[in-house]
Structure 1
Amino acid sequence: MSKFFDDPILNSPYDYPEMHWELLNGQPTEKIIGNRRRAEFITPIPKTKKQKQSKQQQELNLGADDGLSSENQKYDEIPIINELRSHIDEWRKWPNSSEWQVTPETARLLQHWRHHDFQGIRPFFCQVEAVEVAIWLTEVAPKSANGKKFLAHLANANAEANPEIMRLALKLATGAGKTTVMAMLVAWQTINAVRRPSSKKFTKGFLIVTPGITIRDRLRVLLPNDPESYYDTRELIPSDMAADLQKAKIVITNYHAFKLRERIDLAKGTRGALEGWRGEKMQTLETEGQMLQRVMPELMGMKNILVLNDEAHHCYREKPQPDEDEKLKGDEKKEAEQNNEAARLWISGIEAVNRKIGVMNVIDLSATPFFLRGSGYLEGTLFPWTMSDFSLMDAIECGIVKLPRVPVADNVPGGDMPKFRTLWEHIRSKMPKKGRAKAGDKEYDPLAIPKLLESALQALYGHYEKTYDLWQEAGIRVPPCFIVVCNNTSTSKLVHDYISGFERIHADGSTTLENGRLALFRNFDEHGNRLARPRTLLIDSRQLESGDALDKNFRNLAGDEIERFRQDIVQRTGNIRDGESITDSDLLREVMNTVGKVDRLGESIRCVVSVSMLTEGWDTNTVTHVLGVRAFGTQLLCEQVIGRALRRQSYDLNEKGRFNTEYADILGIPFDFTTTPVEVKPAKPRETIQVKSVRPDRDVLEIRFPRVEGYRVELPEERLEASFNEDSELVLTPDLVGPSITRTEGIIGEGVDLTLEHLEDTRKSTVLFHVTKRLLYTKYRDPGDEPELHLFGQLKRITRHWIDGYLTCKGNT
């Protein structure tokens, strides 16, 4: 094996990157270059080994020399990042802190982050570097001619795109730890502001804006008083500075809070009558001042604050006149409108804060600070105010993230791409379009999903089984996590039921259990009883609102974890009532947020099936396998979903002072621009009634059944006969059921073959049962037209003879 696959990680995560793999046309060679990689456009995903590529794939092969400039828009941000990096490299090497041209407080923090003997995970080099960029531009750049050039570049970039505010973007790969960077920025600003109250460069007020509730909840670790505060648990500040940090005022919110709300709740008829009587339209919306008082009351008395945007690619001001050649239709147009509406609300809120209070600066953090489709800029264009870049390729070479492996070849003849790499293209016409699956509806039968999807699930699951066994042997207390990202709630429910099991409802109201087809993900035991601690979790807006994915015994069996969750809430809020009023929705969200964490509610979760909850903000370090069952409208979305699997499971250094290589295997997520499907609101769940015995009041009504010793079956006189000829033969080929061998590889590291070998041990009786059942359900499509038992028995005997004869003739399975 080549050295390229023997040792893919070249650098320590804590030191300056000294080596990188040479890339030729975006793909690695065997040559190691003895210096740091320059900032450039790289997608660390290997190309397919098949010869042909679609036009869309060819458009995505962006190399370092391709650029994104056009006649109407100049794109030249990468050189400015490399030039700034060289200045900071020289500044970092100055041995005497008195020469750094920063305050003593800043110098103390820099020395702490670089050289402190941390008991746990110390800050990565890329995290310290991102903060160094902000420090250098704030404290060092105004004192030199070279520094002023970079400040002028920032001012010009913002004057064109954000005329009311000054923004600085820091680009860090997913999994590189943006939350830690935000904590370091808060500490740097607060400690300087407390000890230098007259300086206008520093502030104690912070507004942290996120794209959703999930991320907002996760960022509570930025609050100094939080039980899991990063300042304490990660030793981010010297102990004698802790008191200064307590004076910080921090508000964490999602951008939706900036939307002006109605102050008076009036019915439509009442509003019309009042407006007719007054002769003018009633203004019942909040003013900007009232909105800010609601969102950030703690900051209203301050003059200038620092805004931190997490996942900042959602925040921009679109161009008033988009390029004429950008003509979007259908779902693409709808997606662009939704993106622009969200971006407009986000940046308008920050502008309102600037007008009413004053914004000193806005620091954007994102792994993908690119303009989105329909923004008026070329899609994928880097924000021009980006001044720091630590790419996914950099993170892979430093071992900070897992290495993604995607299909590069399969054993299906012909075709431009491996089928499992572009899975949605092959199954989209066979998947439900909208609405929840209807009971008994053949189209939505979880056991009748497309064979290619079933093969993809089985192939990826077969490799998961091996990973699960390795984790068990290694004594890891939590299981690896398998995630499925679907296009709508119908698909997510079908996949969830196929994986974990479901109750099939018959015409007479009776139910039978169809246990999950992936054994390690079943939510039912071998006796048909639902597990109190689920192994597979279905997450979408319906589940988060109703909490119906939790078993009723969950509260009892998870009492210790729930009590710990309750105490955390009380400690964070200081309100005992908040801890006492935990809803099932709160518990479900906590289960999702604690997947992969020992002694927490999500400890037992092995599989998560979701619609859109996993695109960003959901962070667990135990994800090892990802399956995409949807279209991916942009490369940005592909990178976000894959990013859920990139966080490392172990941060222990090996004897070389580096991390060991970890992998994430990914199917169904192409780096391709395709149509984004429409998400549909889920249907109202059916009401369930639980029947219990009432004792001793109704013991007299007890019904006793006799013990049955046997049955006598009387078959009808008609007899089913089967005749076989040349047309009776069915040959299972990869074209019919999907690839049986799929090769996945990362851009560096070891490859792996995903196979269906684990199905070879299936007993013949099991095959006989499923074949017979599928034949019956193919004939009896009407849910009310159920086959009789004697027909099942006769068809089963015929099928057995057919299978025995086929095996005898072919001599193989």
Structure 2
Amino acid sequence: MPEAAQQDAPLTVAEVESPIINSPFVEPKCHWKIEKAKPPYKAEGRRRASYFYRVPEHAGRGRANRDQAELFESQAGEEVELEIVNAIRGRVKDWRAGVHSGGVAYDGASPVTRELLDLWRSDQRMQRLFFAQIEAVETIIFLVEAKDVYRRGLPEIPKDEPGLEAKAAGVRAFLRYACKMATGSGKTTVMGMLAAWSILNRVASPRDDRFSDTVLIVCPNVTIRERLQELDPALGDLSLYRTRQLVPPHRMEELRRGEVMIANWHRLAKKETNSVNGDSAKVVKTGEPVEVLKNAGKANESVETKYFESDQAWFKRIRRELGSGKGRSPHWLIFNDEAHHAYRRGDAATEESLDEDKDLAKKNAREATIWIEGLDRINKLAGGSRRRGINLCIDLSATPFYIQGSGNEVGKPFPWVVTDFGLLDAIESGLVKIPQLPARDVSGAEEAAYFNIWRWVQAKAKEDGLGTTITPEIVMNYASAPINLLAQEWHERFVEWEQHSKQQQKHPVPPVFIVVCRDTAVAREVHDWLANGNDSYGVSPAWFRNAPGQEVTVRIDSKVMEDIEEGGSKDETRRLRFILDTVGKSGWPGGKVPEDWSELVRKHNDKVASDDNDGSLKWVDERVPPGRDVRCIVSVAMLAEGWDANTVTHIVGLRPFGSQLLCEQVVGRALRRKSYALNEETQMFAEETAKVFGVPFELIPFKVKPVGPQPPQPDPNHIYSVPEKAEYEINFPVVSGYHQSGQFEVHIDWSKVAKVTLDPMKIPQVVELTPLTTPDGSLAAFGPGERPILSLKDWRSRFRDQQVAFRLAREICDRWQADNGAEAVPIHQLFPKVAFAAKRFLAEKLDRKGDSRPCDVLLVGEYMQAAIGSLLEAIKMGSATDQGEVAIIPQGAAGRGSTIYVDFHTTKPIYPVTRCHLNAMVADTKKWEQSAAFLLDSHSGVKRWVKNDRLGFTIPYRQRGLLARYIPDFIVVTDRDENVIVEIKGQVTDDADAKAKAAERWVEAVNRLGGHGVWRYLLVEDPGRLGIQLNEFTSSKWDEGPFQLT
């Protein structure tokens, strides 16, 4: 029966069903089918294995415009079937059912394997294993042990082939199988099951080379390495094999005859010989010489020869350091945990448009190189010269795809993926939290603003004239609003958890709020705002403020994260690692305080007791895990993969995202469930959610038509000043700021205080979240699962207008003092006047739209900065003898601009000009700029003119509290020899008033200074009246009637 014909009755908004529709212990029986603008329905059967591929924006398309080079092509997504996985999935199902063997399950499996499979699949277990775990294990066993009748005709699984240069050096391909398993689906248990299967079979049949009793697990960092120690059979009843009932008690002695080694990838790096044998390799020059670049990119760049241990010396060392030598098989079983870091570098060129992630790409490339070269050496040496060293390599990852910096096509899966239990399957089986993302907001825009905060910030900054360089201050100007909004919901969750903990008589463990930042500079601003209560960007959530002895908000920079992953020995690195390792934990695992932590606490408490302590240091109880009370983590890195904190409930992304893979990795930090309590009636887990802003993650893949070839780019036009038209040259002063001399009183010219618009349509304060997307990638406005609506209503009620005025005045005074230094008015003179002005500003100068209120100035960073900027522009220091402010103009060529310097190329259309120094004008509009050019060439009162395009003529002003540059449309010199700055209003923007006030200030200050001619400012409200309004500044008049500019 066709899939659509089997659908249940469609859901309505009132009849919301949970996204969880399958038991976690059996193969999924149905899945959600979602179509755009239609109610979702449950379709029978399991979802076919596929992956979602979307080309990063500008990738290989030769586009020059990179104003928003942070995300994806809007129409370049597709669903690609995982053909190998789907083919194997059907055969494993047949093998399990004994289709070709008279109903005998697992035909071809050894007695040991059958015993293990019976144990694992038993429904009498105390802790049943998830189907995702069973399927991954059965698939690997099937590929190794199943009879040919079940495997015949399957697509060939590609090996991990080295390149030609590596092959020439003796590197051989080895067999890899990748299991794609969603975060939280139990990959560690799968490694334990397969390690036991391999070791026990090898012990039972020592000559069967399909199995190995020497196992190596390679993982990304020290934290995971320590947690994976439970896979060591030597731990006996304390090992995972017994705590999870993976091995029968009578088989444990046999299991201990094998060996499981665990290493973070850093351990696979070759060492310099001087660090191995203690001698100076530079003196004795032993080992293999390698030329390395020293001080790369600097003036003193040079090539230096270093000496590293040989392959054989390396292998002997790691064999000695990692293991006991129990394993006797000449070839090893390898597990790559978080295997998307283990790949061979490809030849694909790096995309310049993704430069924002170049540090991440460099880190990924280094990690992959050390990881894969280490495995190649094991494969070369462990089995001797004639035998393979790696019997089988099993990759485990939620995202076994090529990542940025791999030299391969980012977002494409490893070709040896053999199983797929992805995020949607995990959501529908209740194995993970359900991510909820912004679907709609009060603005009514097609894409909710906070779905992709970085793209929204870029658009807002460009719209507000702040340029294309996104500084940390610009990020915070806008991002404070979504952070505040999501933090309000976090606090509601916090109160719920706290009440529940009190009922259970337990110490409350808070939910965790994560902010993932683009770089250290952004992270520093976010942390200062949240942890220290810096009100520059509006009021921050009080719940995340740090206090002496109470660090509830921590910052983890990328370099610190690397040190933590590698196991750095600095005290601060170790302290932060203990914090991260214990986030969400009310007690130490096993009840034992680590000795390393005790040592750190002793050092700290000694400082607390010293005479140098000024009271800022507080005594620490080593029995309390340092991460227990952490509420907020501000991170540049995405936090360590394998990080097992299950209390993360909210994430805000303040960075560009180059691929859906990166989005899934970030969202994955919040997906681990907190509770695994089972509903005995339905055999399903209860719904848990994680709310995510700013990570544009699309759960459902979609199909679109392939993108066709791009149209040919037109030849660029050359725009330059024409020497023969020197009579039309225009000069102008370059103003860097304004200045008054001496100490004066404070005056505020209220006619020059620009209004600030509070518009919830542009800075949304009400957002609806949804857990699923439609097939075209857009978020579904209705469908299964909770769809909460978040707002700032409760938070608003806490602030009175007087509090708003006080905080606003304080920030203005701080900014004024910082800007004016020694010439600033003393704070005791300034603050009372500014406080009074702030009250008046809130009463008279707020253009409140919708349900906006004065307190929104505090809650939204953009409004706060706009209010600060508006008042700062109007504040003047003066006295009875004051002549007003004058322009600050640098000396020499730096203080003079001219049309003579214009020289650039453009692919935009151009328009011929006459009374202009340039050869042509670039047309940014379809008609009105061309019409204006014709009028200026025709007006008898105009001597010369120029469009202000790459001329370097800007007017400094404050926009959203930040220093910005206003670029007017034209400069016109009239027959009165007056210089008229012309601004023709097109679309009315929020900052139009602020720009006009800034231009008037510029004109007054330049004219007062003198020496640069007479300047005027003309704001043309109606483009059709340009000629008539110019008459005010000319002797000859335009008398042809209204000129139509359309």
Q: Given the superposition, is the C-alpha separation of residues 29 and 602 from structure 1 closer, same or farther in structure 2, using an over 3 Å criterion? A: same
- Is contact 1:21-1:33 (8 Å) kept? yes
Q: Given the superposition, is the C-alpha separation of residues 28 and 349 from structure 1 closer, same or farther in structure 2, using an over 3 Å criterion? A: farther
- Is contact 2:575-2:600 (8 Å) kept? no
In structure 2, give the amino acid aligned to 1:107.
R
Match of 2:217 in 1: 208
1:444-488 deviations in Å (ceiling 9; x for gaps): 78xx96331110110110111121122223337321111111122
- The structural deviation recorded for 1:108 is 1.8
- Is contact 1:410-1:743 (8 Å) kept? yes
TM-score w.r.t. structure 1 length? 0.74
- The structural deviation recorded for 1:619 is 2.2
1:242-281 deviations in Å (ceiling 9; x for gaps): 3333333122112222221111269xxx9778779xx999
In structure 2, give the amino acid aligned to 1:772.
A
Match of 1:306 in 2: 333
CA–CA separation in structure 1 for the residues paired with 2:543 and 2:495: 11
Greater alpha carbon shift after TM alignment, 328-337 vs 301-310: 328-337
CA–CA separation in structure 2 for the residues paired with 1:329 and 1:807: 40
Aligned partner of 1:62 among 70, 78, 86? 78
Match of 2:1020 in 1: none
Matched, 1:745 2:754: no
CA–CA separation in structure 2 for the residues paired with 1:103 and 1:165: 24
CA–CA separation in structure 2 for the residues paired with 1:809 and 1:746: 33
- Is contact 2:159-2:173 (8 Å) kept? no
Matched, 1:800 2:839: yes
CA–CA separation in structure 1 for the residues paired with 2:652 and 2:407: 32
CA–CA separation in structure 1 for the residues paired with 2:847 and 2:70: 44
Match of 2:667 in 1: 642
CA–CA separation in structure 1 for the residues paired with 2:575 and 2:835: 36
Aligned partner of 2:131 among 121, 125, 130? 125
Match of 1:219 in 2: 228
Match of 1:778 in 2: 815
1:380-415 deviations in Å (ceiling 9; x for gaps): 22212111111111111111111111122223365x
Aligned partner of 1:108 among 115, 127, 135? 115
Aligned partner of 1:535 among 542, 552, 558? 552
- The structural deviation recorded for 1:22 is 1.7
Match of 1:628 in 2: 653
1:689-733 deviations in Å (ceiling 9; x for gaps): xxxxxxxxxxxxxxxxxxxxxxxxxxxx99766675596543312
Secondary structure at 1:627 match in 2? strand
Give percent identity, aligned residues only: 31
In structure 1, give the amino acid aligned to 2:180.
K
Secondary structure at 2:72 match in 1? helix
Matched, 1:500 2:531: yes
1:629-684 deviations in Å (ceiling 9; x for gaps): 11222222111110011111111122322112111111111249xxxxxxxxxxxx
Matched, 1:295 2:318: yes
- The structural deviation recorded for 1:41 is 2.5
- Is contact 1:515-1:522 (8 Å) kept? no
Matches within 5 A, 1:213-612: 213-225=222-234, 229-264=239-274, 284-297=307-320, 298=323, 302=328, 303-319=330-346, 321-322=347-348, 330-331=355-356, 336=361, 338-357=363-382, 358-373=389-404, 375=406, 377-412=408-443, 417-427=447-457, 450-475=476-501, 477-501=508-532, 517-524=540-547, 530=548, 532-540=549-557, 541-542=559-560, 546-548=570-572, 581=599, 600-612=625-637
Q: Given the superposition, is the C-alpha separation of residues 189 and 628 from structure 1 closer, same or farther in structure 2, using an over 3 Å criterion? A: same
Secondary structure at 1:350 match in 2? helix
Q: Which has the higher strand share?
A: 2
- The structural deviation recorded for 1:784 is 5.4
Q: Given the superposition, is the C-alpha separation of residues 653 and 417 from structure 1 closer, same or farther in structure 2, using an over 3 Å criterion? A: same
Secondary structure at 2:392 match in 1? strand
CA–CA separation in structure 2 for the residues paired with 1:291 and 1:89: 43
- Is contact 1:484-1:627 (8 Å) kept? yes
- Is contact 1:13-1:125 (8 Å) kept? yes
- The structural deviation recorded for 1:308 is 0.1
- The structural deviation recorded for 1:369 is 1.2
Match of 2:151 in 1: 147
Matched, 1:662 2:709: no
Greater alpha carbon shift after TM alignment, 330-339 vs 9-18: 330-339
CA–CA separation in structure 2 for the residues paired with 1:809 and 1:493: 32
Number of residue pairs matched?
A: 687
Secondary structure at 1:102 match in 2? coil
Secondary structure at 1:171 match in 2? strand
Match of 1:9 in 2: 20
- The structural deviation recorded for 1:4 is 7.4
1:128-154 deviations in Å (ceiling 9; x for gaps): 1100111111111xx22341544x712
In structure 2, give the amino acid aligned to 1:220.
Q
Q: Given the superposition, is the C-alpha separation of residues 808 and 343 from structure 1 closer, same or farther in structure 2, using an over 3 Å criterion? A: closer
Q: Given the superposition, is the C-alpha separation of residues 176 and 489 from structure 1 closer, same or farther in structure 2, using an over 3 Å criterion? A: same
- The structural deviation recorded for 1:519 is 2.1
Q: Given the superposition, is the C-alpha separation of residues 250 and 380 from structure 1 closer, same or farther in structure 2, using an over 3 Å criterion? A: same
Q: Given the superposition, is the C-alpha separation of residues 2 and 413 from structure 1 closer, same or farther in structure 2, using an over 3 Å criterion? A: closer
Match of 2:90 in 1: 86
Matches within 5 A, 1:613-624: 613-614=638-639, 616-624=641-649
Match of 2:790 in 1: 754
Q: Given the superposition, is the C-alpha separation of residues 176 and 157 from structure 1 closer, same or farther in structure 2, using an over 3 Å criterion? A: same
CA–CA separation in structure 2 for the residues paired with 1:377 and 1:246: 40
| Residue ranges of structure 2 left out of the alignment (5+ in a row) | 1-11, 55-68, 164-170, 292-304, 383-388, 462-470, 606-622, 699-742, 773-783, 855-1046
CA–CA separation in structure 1 for the residues paired with 2:96 and 2:603: 48
Secondary structure at 2:49 match in 1? coil
Match of 1:710 in 2: none
CA–CA separation in structure 1 for the residues paired with 2:232 and 2:472: 46
Greater alpha carbon shift after TM alignment, 343-352 vs 598-607: 598-607
CA–CA separation in structure 2 for the residues paired with 1:604 and 1:257: 33
Match of 2:144 in 1: 138
Who wins on radius of gyration, i.e. which is larger? 2
In structure 2, give the amino acid aligned to 1:774.
E
In structure 2, give the amino acid aligned to 1:180.
T
Secondary structure at 1:264 match in 2? helix
CA–CA separation in structure 2 for the residues paired with 1:3 and 1:585: 59
Q: Given the superposition, is the C-alpha separation of residues 272 and 232 from structure 1 closer, same or farther in structure 2, using an over 3 Å criterion? A: closer
Matched, 1:766 2:828: no
CA–CA separation in structure 1 for the residues paired with 2:400 and 2:160: 14
CA–CA separation in structure 1 for the residues paired with 2:42 and 2:459: 46
Q: Given the superposition, is the C-alpha separation of residues 187 and 656 from structure 1 closer, same or farther in structure 2, using an over 3 Å criterion? A: same
Q: Given the superposition, is the C-alpha separation of residues 743 and 195 from structure 1 closer, same or farther in structure 2, using an over 3 Å criterion? A: same
Match of 2:676 in 1: 651
TM-score w.r.t. structure 2 length? 0.59
Match of 1:685 in 2: none
Q: Given the superposition, is the C-alpha separation of residues 361 and 233 from structure 1 closer, same or farther in structure 2, using an over 3 Å criterion? A: same
- The structural deviation recorded for 1:160 is 7.8
1:150-208 deviations in Å (ceiling 9; x for gaps): 4x712x44458895211111111122121111111112222222333332222221111
In structure 2, give the amino acid aligned to 1:293.
K
CA–CA separation in structure 1 for the residues paired with 2:217 and 2:749: 73
- The structural deviation recorded for 1:23 is 3.4
Matches within 5 A, 1:682-693: none
CA–CA separation in structure 1 for the residues paired with 2:334 and 2:34: 38
Q: Given the superposition, is the C-alpha separation of residues 497 and 231 from structure 1 closer, same or farther in structure 2, using an over 3 Å criterion? A: farther
CA–CA separation in structure 2 for the residues paired with 1:178 and 1:170: 9
